[in-house]
Amino acid sequence: MRRVVARYDDEGDAADAEADLRQAGLDPERPDIENPFFDPSARPPEARGLLWGGLVGGVVGAAILLAMAVDVLWVPRLSPIMSAGRLALVTFGFGLGAAVGGFVGGIWGTLGELSDPEGPRVAVRVSDAEVGDVKERLRTHDAVVVDDGATSYETR
């Protein structure tokens, strides 16, 4: 089973979507989002810091290894890495910095204040086979975001 959640800008669109789902024999609900981390229609909070952390970390990492390559900065015990060419060092520095910066930025993003959920939501539990049809029904009523998540798995 899957839980499909749609977010709307207009209360009337959400009511129309609920009525459409009821006509199709489904049981929609208006979910209360107690924790924005578990709202499938919201942007993941850690995404806020991943992009900027990765970019800043990549630039800083590339700058540090470039400075080491042109002998502006010296860090002991990194001599084996310095045998690479400047382009390889800058690429390695960017990749390493992006990984570290993205990790730190992702953690920083989860620590920030989350905005309150915007707009009314409509949720419905359906089987895996019905997900596509239900998503299309919700989108026809001008849903801003439609997403789904697995609630249980059937074993046969």
Residue 137 — very low, low, confident or very high, per pLDDT cuts 50/70/90?
A: confident
Within 10 angstroms of residue 53's Cβ, the number of other Cβ atoms is 24
CATH of domain 2-43+117-150: 3.30.70.120
Using CA of residue 100, residue 103, residue 107, residue 112, what is the dihedral sign?
positive
- Top pLDDT among 19 and 51 is at 19
**Placement of tokens 């959920």 in the chain:** 117
Nearest to 18 by CA among 151, 143, 148, 152: 143
Residue 94 — very low, low, confident or very high, per pLDDT cuts 50/70/90?
A: very high
Nearest to 134 by CA among 12, 9, 29, 26: 26
- Top pLDDT among 8 and 151 is at 8
Structure-token pair, residue 152: 């249980």
Reported pTM: 0.52
b (16+ CB within 10 A) / e for 29-46: eebebeeeeebbbbeebb
Q: What is the mean pLDDT of residues 17-24?
A: 89
Structure-token pair, residue 125: 């539990």
% of residues, the chain, pLDDT over 90: 8
Check whether 147 has a pLDDT greater than 80.
Answer: no
Domain ranges across the chain: 2-43+117-150, 47-111
Across the chain, what does the average pLDDT equal?
80
Question: What pLDDT is recorded for position 4?
Answer: 86
Question: What pLDDT is recorded for position 38?
Answer: 55
